[in-house]
Structure 1
Amino acid sequence: MSTFIRICALALAVPGLAHAAPAEPAAAPADLLPFKASETTLPNGLRVIVVPTGFPNLVSVQIPVQTGSRNEVEAGKSGFAHFFEHMMFRGTKDYPPEKYQAIITKAGARQNAYTSDDLTNYYTTFAKQDLETVLKVEADRFQHLSYGEDAFKTESRAVLGEYNKNSANPQSKLFEVMRDAAFEKHTYKHTTMGFIKDIEDMPNQYAYSKVFFDRWYRPERTTIIIAGDVEPARAVALVRKYWSKWRRGTAQAPVPAEPPAKGALYRHVPWPTPTLPLLSVSFHAPAFSTKAKDQAALSLLLSLSFGRTSPLYKRLVQDEQKVDQLYDYTPGRVDPTLATIGARVKKIDDTVYVRDAILRTVAQLRSTPVGEQNLADAKSALKYGLVRSLDNTEQIAGTLASFVHYQRAYGTINQYYRLMDSLTPADLLAAARTYLVDDGMLVATLSHDAMPAAIAAPPKLAELAPPSAPADFPLLVQQSALPQIRYKLLFSAGSAHDPAGKEGLAALTAAMVGSAGSSERKIDEVAKALFPIAGSFSEQVDKEMTTFTANIHKDNWKRFNAIALPLLLAPGFREEDFRRLKDAQKNALQLDLKDNNEEEFGKERLQANVYAGSGYGHPVLGTLKGIDAITLDDVKAFWKSAYTRGALRAGISGDVSAAMGAELKQALAALPAGAGLPSTAVPVGKAAKGLQIEIIEKQTRATAISFGLPLSVTRTHPDFPALWLAKTWLGEHRASSAYLYQRIRELRGMNYGDYAYIEAFPRGMYQFFPNPNLGRKAQLFEVWIRPVAPENGHFALRVALTELDKLIAQGLNQEQFEATRDYLMKNVFVMTATQDQQLGYALDAQWYGTPEFTSLMRDGLARLTVADVNAAIRKHLSARDLSVVIITKDAAGLKDKLVSDAFSPIKYDGNKPKELLDEDQLIGARKLNIAPEAVTITPAAKAFAE
C-alpha cells in the first residue's frame, strides 16, 4: 500500500480517532507504550530496536528507511522513493523473486511496504521460529538488491500503472495539484507518486536508479524494529550477524528550503467526468517535533474544529447536509508541510458557502481559545483511541515505525504524546495565529461543472473574525511549583495611540490605574492593604503595549485580587491623584530624562528623529506640551476605550489552580466590551541620506552618542535571528566580550561601554536584560556609545562607524559566527530565566504571532549559517546612511569639526602599542562627508517640548 491512498486513509481516520469516546485521563503523563525496548546502534550506524510485546508466537519486523519523496532532490527525478518500494521485491542473486517469495510463504508471513514523504517502510509479520530466516533474507535484499535494465523498465511501467489507477480518484488529483501549487522549492511540491512527466520518463533513468539506491539505502538512515515474542539479545545478535557488513554512505543531497509563502492562492482542477465537487483549504504547517508544540497544537486544534464532534461538522454534514465528507489532515513531516481541511460538497452552488464556513471557523480559531474541557477530552480521546488500536504485535510495530523514522528512537512516540498532554488552550491559539494566516493559505477545488466565480477570491480571514466574546479572552497559563503567583494583563494600547497634541496620554492613563487607587480605596489605603501580604500591582507602557503585572503568594490570592483588580476595573480617578501623577510624568520627562540622563535622552531622541511624524515619534512619557494638555476626562475616555476585553491578552504563572484561572477570567469579564483602540499603522522610519546629525546642546561634562537607522525586522521577520546574532557580536548589552566594547572601552579606555541593538531597550543603563512586553511593529538598529570626554566625541563617532563599516564589508568569519551562536543558544535561557520574563515573553509571542521566544531563537539560530548572517548585515545595516544624536556642551565647536572633516586626535594617559596609534591616525582622518545642512543644533530645553 503506498502514496496517496494511504495518505487519504490516514486523513479520514484522524478526526474519527481524535473524537472516539474518551477514557478517564491519567493522573500524570505516562508513556503511551509501556514496553521495555532495547536500542542498539551498530558500528555502521544501523539502528536496532527490539520490543518484546507480550503477545505470543508472532514477530513483526519493520524496517523504516529515512527516504521518501522528500529526498528526490534532482529535477526530473521524482517518484524514485516509491519506485524502490516496488524494486525491493525484485530480489537478489542469492534470493531471486521466486525464491524470496517461497521463503516468505513458508514462514506464513504477511508482508508489504509503503512509501510516504519522509520514509519507506518494509514490514513482515511471521512466526517467531523464522526470525533468523527473515532477518537473513531482508539483510540480503537491502545490501545486495540486484536488477537489470529490463526488470527496471518493467517495474517502472507498473509504477505508471499505479499512477494511472490513482489518477481515477479525484481526491488524489486534487492533492497533487495542492502540493504543486503550495510549494515552490521544497520537494514536498510533488507527491510520493511523483510528477507524471517524471514517471513517464522513468524507463530512461536506469543509471540514476542505481545512484538513488546507493545514496539513500544506507545503514545510518535505517532502523530495524523487531517486535513481538522475541528475546532482545538473540535478536540483536542476529542483526549483527547478517547486517554488520552493510557499509555507511557518503553522499550528500540536501533538501532545498522552501521560501516564505507570498500570499493566498487558488487552484481549480477541472474533472472530465461527473463527480461531487471537492473543496480544500490548506495552510503551511510546522514540521513534526517532540519539543516545539506547534505541530501537535495545530493538529489537535484542527481535529477539534473540523472533526466529527465539531460544531461545523454537525452543521454542514448533519443539520444542513451540504457536504457528505468533512475532514482535517495535519500530517507529521520532517519539514514544514501542509495542513488541510477538506470537504466533498453535494451541490456546486454551495461551494462558496462551505468555503466561507470553513474560513469563518479558521478565523475564530485565531481569536478564541478552545475550552479547557474540550481540549482535555480531545487529548484523552486521541491518546486512548490510539492505545485501543494497539492490540497486536504488527500494529504496535507499525505504529512505532511511523514515529521511529524521525529520530530513529523508540522514545519518540512517548515524547510526542507527552508533548500533546502538555498542550494548553493558549498553545492552540498561538498555533492558529502563527499558521492559519492569509499568506500561507491555499484554496483548491475540483469539479466537473463550472465553479461559481466567487470561489476564486476567498475573503481575508480578518474579515471573518468574530466579535470578541464577553469573557472568552485567552488566558495563558504557565504552571509551575512556585507558590508565588504572577499574572500579566497586556493591552494593545500604548503611546503610539496618543492623540496628536496630547502626547503622554497612554502613560498617564496607566499611571492613574496602577498608582492612583480604586474607587474603593485611595492609593495610600491600597499600599497599606498590600503591605502585609507583600503584593504588588504595577504598570508598564510602551509604544504598542500597556502591561499591568500582579505579584502575590498563592496563600493570599483572593485577598490580593480584592485589593488590586479594582485598580483596573474601577479606578478612583481622583483629581488630586491626577495632578500628582501629571506632575510626576512631567518631572520624569524634564528632570529624570532630559536634565539628568544624557544617555537615555539621546536614545529617546534618536528614536523620535527616525520615526518623526508617526506614533513612535515621541517618547512614551510624551511631550511637555502634550502632558500639559491632558485632562482627567481624557484619561477616563482613554481607559474606557483602551482597556477592553477585546484588547486584552492575559497570562498567569506559578502554582496556579484551575479555580484561580476561572476567577481571574470572571473578574476581568467586567472590563468594557469592544475590540479596543484601532490598530496602529506600521510606522515608516526616515532613512537618512548620509549622516544626518542632531547635536543637543546641554551643559554636561561628557558627550553621549547614539546612532542608528529604521529597521523593519521584528521577531516575525526571517532575518531576525541573523541580526540578533550580528548585534550580539558587535555590541551585546553590557557584555565586555563584545567587539565594540573591546575596541572602544577595553583597548582605548574611552568610556564605560559600547553596545548595539535591534530591539528597543528602554532603561538600558539600569539593567542587564530588556523587560518583556515591549513589542513593536518596527524597530531601530542602534549603536549606543556611552559618554566620552568631549574632546574625544568626534573620534568616538569615527571609530564606531569604522568598526561598523568593517562588519558590513567583511562580515563575521566562521569562528566568530559559531562562538556567538553558541553563546546565544544558551544565553536565551538566561535572558528568559525569571518568572516575569517567561510569562512576559510568552505573551509577546502571542502578540507577534510567533513561537515562544526561546524556541523562536534557538530554532532560528540552529538554522543559520555565517553566510545568512552576513547577508542580513549587508541587507539591513549601513555605516553611511545613519541618523545620529550627540548630546554635548560645545555644539557649535563639534559641528565645525564634523562638517570640516577635521582630523580628530586622541590622547592616552598610558602607553599604547604602535599598531593602535597607527590605526588611530587612519581613523582620525576618516572622511565622514557631512554636509553643513545635515547637522542641526537643538537646545536641550526645546527637545520634547512639544
Structure 2
Amino acid sequence: MRRLLTLLLLLLGTATALPAAAQSGPTAAFPYTLNTEKLPNGLTVVRVPYPSQGIIAYVTVVRVGSRNEVEPGKTGFAHFFEHMMFKGTKNNPEGSREKVMGTFGFDDNAFTTDDVTVYYSYGPTAGLPKLIELEADRFRNLEYSEPAFQTEALAVLGEYHKNAAAPFLKMEEELNAAAFQRHTYRHTTLGFYEDIKAMPQAYQYSREFFQRWYTPDNTMLFIVGDFDDAKVMQLVRENYGPWNRKVAQVTVPTEPPQTGPRTAHIDWPQPTQPRQILAWRTPAASVTTMDAAIQTVLVDYLTGPTSPAYKSLVLDKQLVEEIGSDYSVHRDPNLFTLTATLKNEKDRDTVRLALLKEVSNLAAGKLDAARVKAIQDHERYGTLMSLQTPRDVGVRLAMYGGILGTPDGLQLHLQNLTKVKPAQLQEFAKKYLTANRIILLSLTPKVAGAGGTK
C-alpha cells in the first residue's frame, strides 16, 4: 500500500567511493558478475554479463526521491521530474527519442520512490550504441519549454486525482502524517496536494532541480545482458564523460523520537473493505548493519503463510482476506508495518490484538528457529527465481544500489539475509516494536462493502 509504484522495494550522501574498476563475482545468492567502474566525473557504471542472446537492459538510477524535497511548497518534484526527463533535448527534440526507441523495439519507462528515481530500457543489443547516445544526451542536456512544463504539471495533477480515487493514497498520507513530524518522509512520492496544484508556476525551480540532482556523482548506470564490454565502456566514456555537474548538498530534517503511541483514522466514503495497519518507525537500511535483513525476515515471520497469524486469521477463523507488510528498504529510518484487510469491521479489535500478540511473543523469546531458517532459504530461492530477465536483474540492482549507496548493495543485502539469527529478531522486536512507538491506522468504509459495516 505505502508504495504507489509497486516494486520491490536508504544512506545519506553520494555513492560509496570505488576504485577505478572493480569486479564482484557470483555468489550462491546472486549468480552474476558485476564489473564496476567509476568515471572521473563520478558516474558509476556497472556491467553485468547475462546470457540473454542479443537482449540488454539499460537501467539508470538517480539518488533523488521525495526524501530530497526539503523546501516548503516544493514536494512532488522528484516524481514530476521523472515525467520531464522524456521531453527531449536540442539534439533530440521531444518525440525523436521515442521514435528511435520504437524502431529498435525498446521497452522504455521509469518510476520514482521515496529515495530514488529509476529509468530503464529493455531491448536488442543492436540498439545499444544509439541508446547510450540518447540517454547520455538527455541526462546531460535536458531541455523543455515552460508551456510543455505546465502541460505536464496538469497531467501529474490528474495522476494524483486518479490515485486518490482508491483508499491507498489516503492511507499512505495519513500514516505518514502520524509517523513523521519533521522528516521529508512525511509527504508521499506524489507530494502534498497543494504543492501539486501549484506546480505550473514552478518552471524555474524545475530547472534548478535538474541541475541540483541530475549529476554524474549522484547516478549509477547498470547495463545487463549480452554485449561487448570494451565497446560499451568506450561509448559510455565518450558520451557521459563531458557530464560534469556536482550533486547538491541539503540537510534532510531528523525526525525526533516518538514518546508515545499514535493513531489515525479514515472514514472512507465508498464501498471497500476495512483496513488496519500497525506501524513502528525502525532503522534505515545500511550496508554496515543487519537492520534491513532482520526486517525482511520479520515480514514473513510475522505475517507470511507459515506464521501463526496467517493460519489463524486467514485460514482458520477467516477474519481477514490478507495480512502482510509494506516494509521496504529506505535511506533513512522509515516504517515497519503489519497490514490487514478485514472482512468485517466488527472483527477489527480481534485482528489488531492477534497481530500484537505475535509481536509480543517474539519479543518474549517465543521463537521458531526452524521457521526462521526456512524463511531465509525461501528469500534466497525467491530472489533467484525473480531474476528471470536482464531487466529483472538491472532494476533490482539499481534499487538496492541507489538506496544503499553502493553498486553491490543487493548482494550485500542478500548475504546479510543468510546471517540473520533468531535471537536478532527478538532483540529487534524488544527494541523497536514497542507499545510506546506504535502507530495505528484504521480505515472504515462509510458505505458497507465486501462485508464491511458502518
CA RMSD of aligned residues (A): 1.8
Contact 1:31-1:418 at 8 Å conserved across structures:
no
Per the TM alignment, residue 10 of structure 1 is displaced from its structure 2 partner at its CA by: 4.7
The one of 73, 76, 79 aligned to 2:76: 79
2: CA distance between counterparts of 1:383 and 1:274?
Answer: 39
Per the TM alignment, residue 111 of structure 1 is displaced from its structure 2 partner at its CA by: 0.8
- Asked if residue 143 in structure 1 is aligned to residue 140 in structure 2, the reply is yes
Per the TM alignment, residue 443 of structure 1 is displaced from its structure 2 partner at its CA by: 0.2
User: TM-score, normalising length from structure 2?
Assistant: 0.92
The one of 193, 196, 200 aligned to 1:196: 193
Structure 1, residues 107-156: CA drift from partner, whole Å, max 9, x if none? 11001100001100000011101111001001111111111111111101
1: CA distance between counterparts of 2:401 and 2:8?
Answer: 18
- Asked if residue 287 in structure 1 is aligned to residue 284 in structure 2, the reply is yes
Q: Which secondary structure state, in structure 2, belongs to the residue aligned with residue 6 of structure 1?
A: coil
1: CA distance between counterparts of 2:326 and 2:2?
Answer: 15
| Paired amino acid for 1:75 | P
| Paired amino acid for 1:266 | T
Structure 1, residues 793-836: CA drift from partner, whole Å, max 9, x if none? xxxxxxxxxxxxxxxxxxxxxxxxxxxxxxxxxxxxxxxxxxxx
Map of 1:249 onto structure 2: 246
2: CA distance between counterparts of 1:175 and 1:428?
Answer: 26
Contact 2:110-2:118 at 8 Å conserved across structures:
yes
- Asked if residue 299 in structure 1 is aligned to residue 296 in structure 2, the reply is yes
| Paired amino acid for 1:140 | D
Q: Which secondary structure state, in structure 2, belongs to the residue aligned with residue 97 of structure 1?
A: coil
- Asked if residue 416 in structure 1 is aligned to residue 426 in structure 2, the reply is no
Q: Which secondary structure state, in structure 1, belongs to the residue aligned with residue 335 of structure 2?
A: strand
2: CA distance between counterparts of 1:31 and 1:276?
Answer: 42
- Asked if residue 6 in structure 1 is aligned to residue 8 in structure 2, the reply is no
Per the TM alignment, residue 30 of structure 1 is displaced from its structure 2 partner at its CA by: 3.9
Contact 1:369-1:428 at 8 Å conserved across structures:
no
Structure 1, residues 863-902: CA drift from partner, whole Å, max 9, x if none? xxxxxxxxxxxxxxxxxxxxxxxxxxxxxxxxxxxxxxxx
The one of 118, 122, 127 aligned to 1:125: 122
Structure 1, residues 472-510: CA drift from partner, whole Å, max 9, x if none? xxxxxxxxxxxxxxxxxxxxxxxxxxxxxxxxxxxxxxx
Q: Which runs of 5+ in 2 are unaligned?
A: 10-25, 449-454
2: CA distance between counterparts of 1:214 and 1:373?
Answer: 51
User: TM-score, normalising length from structure 1?
Assistant: 0.45
Q: Which secondary structure state, in structure 2, belongs to the residue aligned with residue 38 of structure 1?
A: strand
How do 1:814-829 residues align onto structure 2 when only pairs under 5 Å count?
none
Map of 2:18 onto structure 1: none
Larger Rg: 1
Residue 299 to residue 257, structure 1, CA distance change in 2 (3 Å): same
Q: Which secondary structure state, in structure 1, belongs to the residue aligned with residue 3 of structure 2?
A: helix
Residue 306 to residue 326, structure 1, CA distance change in 2 (3 Å): same
How do 1:213-252 residues align onto structure 2 when only pairs under 5 Å count?
213-249=210-246, 251-252=248-249
2: CA distance between counterparts of 1:256 and 1:10?
Answer: 26
1: CA distance between counterparts of 2:276 and 2:329?
Answer: 22
Per the TM alignment, residue 90 of structure 1 is displaced from its structure 2 partner at its CA by: 1.1
Map of 2:259 onto structure 1: 262
1: CA distance between counterparts of 2:289 and 2:260?
Answer: 25
Aligned-residue sequence identity (percent) comes to: 37
2: CA distance between counterparts of 1:213 and 1:418?
Answer: 35
How do 1:727-742 residues align onto structure 2 when only pairs under 5 Å count?
none
2: CA distance between counterparts of 1:77 and 1:241?
Answer: 35
Map of 2:14 onto structure 1: none
Contact 2:298-2:425 at 8 Å conserved across structures:
yes
| Paired amino acid for 1:88 | M
Per the TM alignment, residue 438 of structure 1 is displaced from its structure 2 partner at its CA by: 2.0
- Asked if residue 392 in structure 1 is aligned to residue 392 in structure 2, the reply is no
Map of 2:158 onto structure 1: 161
Map of 2:451 onto structure 1: none
Map of 1:354 onto structure 2: 351
Map of 1:54 onto structure 2: 51
- Asked if residue 100 in structure 1 is aligned to residue 97 in structure 2, the reply is yes
- Asked if residue 433 in structure 1 is aligned to residue 430 in structure 2, the reply is yes
Q: Which secondary structure state, in structure 2, belongs to the residue aligned with residue 117 of structure 1?
A: coil
Q: Which secondary structure state, in structure 2, belongs to the residue aligned with residue 427 of structure 1?
A: helix
Residue 251 to residue 392, structure 1, CA distance change in 2 (3 Å): closer
| Paired amino acid for 2:157 | L
Structure 1, residues 623-647: CA drift from partner, whole Å, max 9, x if none? xxxxxxxxxxxxxxxxxxxxxxxxx
Contact 2:297-2:375 at 8 Å conserved across structures:
yes
Map of 1:820 onto structure 2: none
1: CA distance between counterparts of 2:430 and 2:231?
Answer: 51
1: CA distance between counterparts of 2:173 and 2:96?
Answer: 37
Per the TM alignment, residue 349 of structure 1 is displaced from its structure 2 partner at its CA by: 1.2
Contact 1:3-1:193 at 8 Å conserved across structures:
no
Per the TM alignment, residue 32 of structure 1 is displaced from its structure 2 partner at its CA by: 2.1
Map of 1:405 onto structure 2: 402
How do 1:787-936 residues align onto structure 2 when only pairs under 5 Å count?
none
2: CA distance between counterparts of 1:238 and 1:407?
Answer: 27
The one of 268, 272, 279 aligned to 1:271: 268
Structure 1, residues 765-797: CA drift from partner, whole Å, max 9, x if none? xxxxxxxxxxxxxxxxxxxxxxxxxxxxxxxxx
Higher RCO (Cα < 8 Å, 6 or more apart): 2
Contact 2:270-2:447 at 8 Å conserved across structures:
no
| Paired amino acid for 1:352 | D
1: CA distance between counterparts of 2:247 and 2:434?
Answer: 40
How do 1:759-798 residues align onto structure 2 when only pairs under 5 Å count?
none
Map of 1:748 onto structure 2: none
2: CA distance between counterparts of 1:60 and 1:250?
Answer: 26
2: CA distance between counterparts of 1:189 and 1:231?
Answer: 45
Map of 2:334 onto structure 1: 337
How do 1:494-573 residues align onto structure 2 when only pairs under 5 Å count?
none
Map of 2:439 onto structure 1: 442
| Paired amino acid for 1:411 | D
2: CA distance between counterparts of 1:366 and 1:450?
Answer: 38
| Paired amino acid for 1:438 | A
2: CA distance between counterparts of 1:370 and 1:231?
Answer: 50
Map of 1:170 onto structure 2: 167
- Asked if residue 382 in structure 1 is aligned to residue 385 in structure 2, the reply is no
2: CA distance between counterparts of 1:303 and 1:191?
Answer: 25
- Asked if residue 89 in structure 1 is aligned to residue 86 in structure 2, the reply is yes
Map of 1:315 onto structure 2: 312
1: CA distance between counterparts of 2:171 and 2:157?
Answer: 18
How do 1:631-650 residues align onto structure 2 when only pairs under 5 Å count?
none
Q: Which runs of 5+ in 1 are unaligned?
A: 12-28, 452-946
Structure 1, residues 182-236: CA drift from partner, whole Å, max 9, x if none? 0011111111111111111111111111111111111000011111001222211
Contact 1:286-1:335 at 8 Å conserved across structures:
yes
Per the TM alignment, residue 362 of structure 1 is displaced from its structure 2 partner at its CA by: 1.4
Q: Which secondary structure state, in structure 2, belongs to the residue aligned with residue 43 of structure 1?
A: coil
2: CA distance between counterparts of 1:244 and 1:3?
Answer: 38
Q: Which moved more, 1:403-412 or 1:87-96?
A: 403-412
Per the TM alignment, residue 408 of structure 1 is displaced from its structure 2 partner at its CA by: 4.7
Q: Which secondary structure state, in structure 2, belongs to the residue aligned with residue 343 of structure 1?
A: strand
| Paired amino acid for 1:6 | L
Contact 1:298-1:432 at 8 Å conserved across structures:
no
| Paired amino acid for 1:193 | L
